[in-house]
Structure 1
């Protein structure tokens, strides 16, 4: 083999220019190249696998991977990092108080539950999590989905004086479940699913949720959260709707109940919403330019609302709904109601998917910002253990909050020590400060939730972007959004997944194909429709195929090939057969084609059905004296061809070349030889 390459690189005006490239080598068929380069399929024996596993079994490393704090805490720089973590922890704790109380109500539970969620699960995540900045605790959509399950399966509730009251139509002799029992059962079931997924390394299942699907789903879910707050936001007596089309029914109830709206509640909601909105839009960006510590507007709203309610006795004088009783101290550990697990399992699976997807997305985003690694499966373990612990202490399923996590990162948090600082402050609230917020109007918490939803509600504008980039992605967004809004949350997620998979199937079976032409005096072969400077080679058609060739796409492959080449050889053979004498057939311009080259450099996979289709195509073209060559087959594709015994008979052998240029030169040489002989 003679080979030389000249590549002169010259630096001119700061730009690197390629002067010349010349390559000289023989024309290879794939068998010749494999023999010359000692090609061989890599083999891995069971013994090698076992030795690799045994050699990699380091107990110390396994423990440090399972409990990441053992790895990063000894390397923690207390002198330089602790100040940032303390400031970050204090700031996040301040955010946890109003958000926790507000989102606790979303789950149809006492507001104090949101504070519990910012304490118990966070302590566990501190030891097992791999994200340094994810703020674990309440998340609006997860709390809303939990609240939906609570409403569906609970049939009793405790009053503030400890009296158990059954809901209308509840059989006193049947099973009785309170809101808290259902919520903790949901948390336990979510933890159970997550630990199973961790054991079997199934974190990849969240890849089924594309960006467009998650965007449309969260935007639609924000509408569910918004409508759930209208009762407290307007001070109107409407019942909680369940089942399909509940948003439409809720909107109807709101319109009918508007004349009964509490004017004091309307005024409070309007004032607090406007103040928080103006803070987020104008004051917050102004402060961010001057300091990393944000204005704790939600906490200020909670304190102000509590003071106004207490001073003017809004509950008794104006009929404003307030929080009322807030217990002090830590809740006693209680075993979740395990008998509910079988009834809520499927609903909890949906909750788990959403909570984990949001958390891992947030973790990867922050890891990219902070330039460190996050282990997706370890996050499953951390969340499962956090939820498992939380299920014994009156917690709903946890997730990561975008706003709190970004604040924890931007204020200067370095590690999850910031979360521990936050936990200590929240412990102080749980032990002594909680009852101070008993006069807080619920409309203030509803205002906090609604203002916080602005970002998710504005995701509706992303539809224009998706429409410009991909009509299929826009279609997935539209179906997910409207199904979630009009039907229900879990049905919307299911519809989104189905449409996403369907779009993958359709796009996978609509591969990109083209005819290639040569750029004169080069070995470059480009799409003749896109590159006007290339030329087709006389007597040769070069068909480029991208995708996979399997049982589902083999017919489409054949159709596209015949369409690109310009004629259907089966129809030509049928017409010849009807004429009776093949040698008298009047050849058209299409029959001037003597060689078809199929470029498989972008073929990702082929199965036996695809190989059989290739064999049939070769046989059909051979009857028309047209040669078929294949180029660019990857190692796995070539090995499948060998497994299918395509090389057993020389007359049926596929002729394969490493590159298109090899095949073209070989075809031109063969055509020249045939022409010379004739």
Structure 2
């Protein structure tokens, strides 16, 4: 110990004007870093930054965390132009390095997903109450746009069941597709246009974080509920019903089904059940034998071909089995003049576009990120939003409706061994050939086969295992999930989505408004301090209450924190009364997790300071962050509390307070200020 003190004295003598001061207290001497400008107990105050510069940095970190403009710095104009072109159109980045081996893989993948896209496209268009040919149109133009602008190598573009259901439900509440199919079709194009505008705007203005409000639990519940509703809707085709409810909730569908039992067609039901069984068996086989993924991928097209042949051979269309009928041959006609921008339908189109656009973005970005993680490459969320938005804008001009990157099609694309987004181009070429030459072959395709394809695809979206996992890990997430599911199934798709998002946002607000605070105790035989509830062996330090605030302090939680801290003090004093421990003298606030504070938070600390002063206690702060320290210093709170009552660590603060308690006990005539000087 003598050698230790001598060493510290020597260092202090050699560097008398340095930024270091030396705490010679025992039993553990501590080297404490001091800030020259502030000098507050060794806790540094960050240098003042002009407001405009701070605002610029904050906005840059919020909207441009990936710093996309860094690559353009110090580059000649020609290079900057090429880099900008590659940034907007990633195809110019990977196309020069494209090889024959890549082409072989992408051709196989493109043909494989086309075999899935054609029957799915027709099925989902029928689900959206739109002409079936729109499903093929939507699998031609949008994939070409995405291949040029998308950053994912594995995303396969096309229509999705949930988006189709949403569009049918929301537009159907205003316009009956049976009585006015032309207006319904035009509104679908308009809703797709607004969805694309909204999606592209989110990407251009770097507002992709809005999509993050759709939490994982929300998406699981919403997708499961939507899949259940979609399956229920297919009872119309499977049972061969001519009239069916326009509502999507469980009660309405069941009422519509069981009030028409006299119109059930057993031939249609038997055919549908057989195809559903066939599709589920092929999927099960492909999961068990991943190398035979193509069996499941080819099953929908096989069902369409076999079903068409069966209907043609048996003339089943004359015995209650409904068929698609004639499909128009030719490529996408223009729909630019068919957009509806007049009241009262424009507001419906905007609302439908916003909701379906968010759902499509959430699914497309999540799917793209998942497969990018498997292949260890990066997808740019904002680029994806711009790409998906652009393909929907262009699609609305070319007789397409809402498209994104569905999981089922992308999974087939991934398993087929795609190398680049060129597989979407191959798929589009196959769909183009189908539109030009093969559409008459779909005349006898039974609607019950399309319903079977939809049901088999939707059953995979009801992820009950994920819901059970949520229940085991986080009951709040499970509540969000099950609320979304119940809302979709028993109310409507829109209401279910609103309920799920509202609960998620409410949960975030509760976390902000009611941050976690805890009492810390000392782990025996160590200098570590932990939550006494989590560590039963942690012991209270005599005369000292150590509290931890685990969140930023804002106006939303300042009042709660003041009340909670006061209650902690009351509870600690009540606990001490029944024991022979030293009376409470110090309240240490561990602010390590307090990343920021506003004026309401500062006022809260000032009130806490007054409360502890009236009780004859001393408030001690530990490790306030840079921004927090800067604001406390500007508010003169550091002067009110005193520089010596701010420490870097809980260990250091406890050591100092314990030393002063010890000094006051050994010399009762000394006050705490003298005790501090002795320390």
Deviations, residues 127-146 of structure 1 (Å, cap 9, x unaligned) = 11111111110110001111
Partner in structure 1 of residue 674 of structure 2: none
Deviations, residues 531-577 of structure 1 (Å, cap 9, x unaligned) = 244332221121122112222222322333233344488x99xxxxx
Alignment of 1:606-617 (within 5 A): 606-617=597-608
Q: What's the secondary structure of 2:555's corresponding residue?
A: coil
Question: 5+ unaligned residues in a row in structure 2: which ranges?
Answer: 9-26, 61-66, 669-679
Partner in structure 2 of residue 13 of structure 1: none
Give the drift of 1:307. Answer: 0.3
- The match for 1:40 among 46, 64, 72 is 46
Give the drift of 1:433. Answer: 0.7
Instruction: Identify which range, 656-665 or 508-517, moves more after superposition.
Output: 508-517
Alignment of 1:159-308 (within 5 A): 166-167=179-180, 177-242=182-247, 246-281=249-284, 283-289=285-291, 294=296, 296-308=298-310
Contact (CA 8 Å) 2:193, 2:353: kept in 1 or not?
Answer: no
CA distance in 2, matches of 1:352, 1:501: 19
Confirm whether residue 433 of structure 1 aligns to residue 434 of structure 2.
no
Partner in structure 2 of residue 332 of structure 1: 333
CA distance in 2, matches of 1:47, 1:604: 20
Contact (CA 8 Å) 1:235, 1:266: kept in 2 or not?
Answer: yes
Partner in structure 1 of residue 501 of structure 2: 497
Q: What's the secondary structure of 1:421's corresponding residue?
A: helix
CA distance in 2, matches of 1:24, 1:673: 17
Partner in structure 1 of residue 377 of structure 2: 372
Contact (CA 8 Å) 2:323, 2:443: kept in 1 or not?
Answer: yes
Q: 1:278 to 1:37 in 2, by over 3 A?
A: closer
Q: 1:246 to 1:664 in 2, by over 3 A?
A: closer
Contact (CA 8 Å) 2:195, 2:392: kept in 1 or not?
Answer: yes
Give the drift of 1:25. Answer: 3.0
Q: 1:415 to 1:34 in 2, by over 3 A?
A: farther
Confirm whether residue 620 of structure 1 aligns to residue 611 of structure 2.
yes
- TM-score, structure 1 normalization: 0.85
CA distance in 2, matches of 1:543, 1:456: 45
Instruction: Identify which range, 188-197 or 528-537, moves more after superposition.
Output: 528-537
Contact (CA 8 Å) 2:324, 2:445: kept in 1 or not?
Answer: yes
CA distance in 2, matches of 1:23, 1:429: 81
CA distance in 2, matches of 1:420, 1:494: 36
Q: 1:435 to 1:177 in 2, by over 3 A?
A: closer
CA distance in 1, matches of 2:81, 2:312: 59
Aligned length: 623
CA distance in 2, matches of 1:36, 1:633: 11
Alignment of 1:535-614 (within 5 A): 535-567=539-571, 592-614=583-605
CA distance in 1, matches of 2:46, 2:518: 32
CA distance in 2, matches of 1:599, 1:414: 52
Give the drift of 1:297. Answer: 0.8
CA distance in 2, matches of 1:390, 1:291: 30
Contact (CA 8 Å) 1:347, 1:490: kept in 2 or not?
Answer: no
Q: 1:295 to 1:598 in 2, by over 3 A?
A: closer
Q: 1:100 to 1:660 in 2, by over 3 A?
A: same
Partner in structure 1 of residue 361 of structure 2: 356
Q: 1:591 to 1:534 in 2, by over 3 A?
A: closer
Partner in structure 2 of residue 81 of structure 1: 102
Q: 1:290 to 1:359 in 2, by over 3 A?
A: closer
CA distance in 1, matches of 2:330, 2:619: 80
Contact (CA 8 Å) 2:113, 2:297: kept in 1 or not?
Answer: no
CA distance in 2, matches of 1:604, 1:411: 47
Instruction: Identify which range, 102-111 or 516-525, moves more after superposition.
Output: 516-525
Deviations, residues 649-673 of structure 1 (Å, cap 9, x unaligned) = 4566682111111111211222233
Q: 1:256 to 1:74 in 2, by over 3 A?
A: same
CA distance in 2, matches of 1:295, 1:124: 24
Instruction: Identify which range, 179-188 or 46-55, moves more after superposition.
Output: 46-55
Give the drift of 1:284. Answer: 2.2
- The match for 2:126 among 90, 105, 108 is 105
Alignment of 1:14-25 (within 5 A): 25=30
CA distance in 1, matches of 2:440, 2:84: 45
Contact (CA 8 Å) 2:520, 2:532: kept in 1 or not?
Answer: yes
Q: What's the secondary structure of 2:546's corresponding residue?
A: strand
Give the drift of 1:121. Answer: 0.6
Instruction: Identify which range, 63-72 or 436-445, moves more after superposition.
Output: 63-72
Question: 5+ unaligned residues in a row in structure 1: which ranges?
Answer: 4-21, 158-165, 168-175, 573-585
CA distance in 1, matches of 2:148, 2:241: 45
CA distance in 2, matches of 1:215, 1:468: 15
Give the drift of 1:255. Answer: 0.7
Q: What's the secondary structure of 1:606's corresponding residue?
A: coil
Give the drift of 1:357. Answer: 0.4
Instruction: Identify which range, 425-434 or 61-70, moves more after superposition.
Output: 61-70
Give the drift of 1:513. Answer: 2.5
Partner in structure 1 of residue 153 of structure 2: 132
Contact (CA 8 Å) 1:562, 1:568: kept in 2 or not?
Answer: no
Partner in structure 2 of residue 420 of structure 1: 425
Give the drift of 1:285. Answer: 3.3
Contact (CA 8 Å) 1:596, 1:629: kept in 2 or not?
Answer: yes
Contact (CA 8 Å) 1:191, 1:384: kept in 2 or not?
Answer: yes
Alignment of 1:352-501 (within 5 A): 352-457=357-462, 459-501=463-505
Partner in structure 2 of residue 16 of structure 1: none
Give the drift of 1:79. Answer: 3.3
Contact (CA 8 Å) 1:480, 1:496: kept in 2 or not?
Answer: yes
CA distance in 2, matches of 1:334, 1:266: 37
- The match for 2:91 among 69, 88, 93 is 69
Q: What's the secondary structure of 1:264's corresponding residue?
A: helix
Give the drift of 1:432. Answer: 0.3
Give the drift of 1:518. Answer: 2.2
CA distance in 1, matches of 2:108, 2:129: 32
Contact (CA 8 Å) 1:27, 1:662: kept in 2 or not?
Answer: no
CA distance in 1, matches of 2:255, 2:128: 23
Q: 1:500 to 1:337 in 2, by over 3 A?
A: same
Deviations, residues 86-122 of structure 1 (Å, cap 9, x unaligned) = 1111111111111111111011112221111111111
Contact (CA 8 Å) 1:180, 1:394: kept in 2 or not?
Answer: no
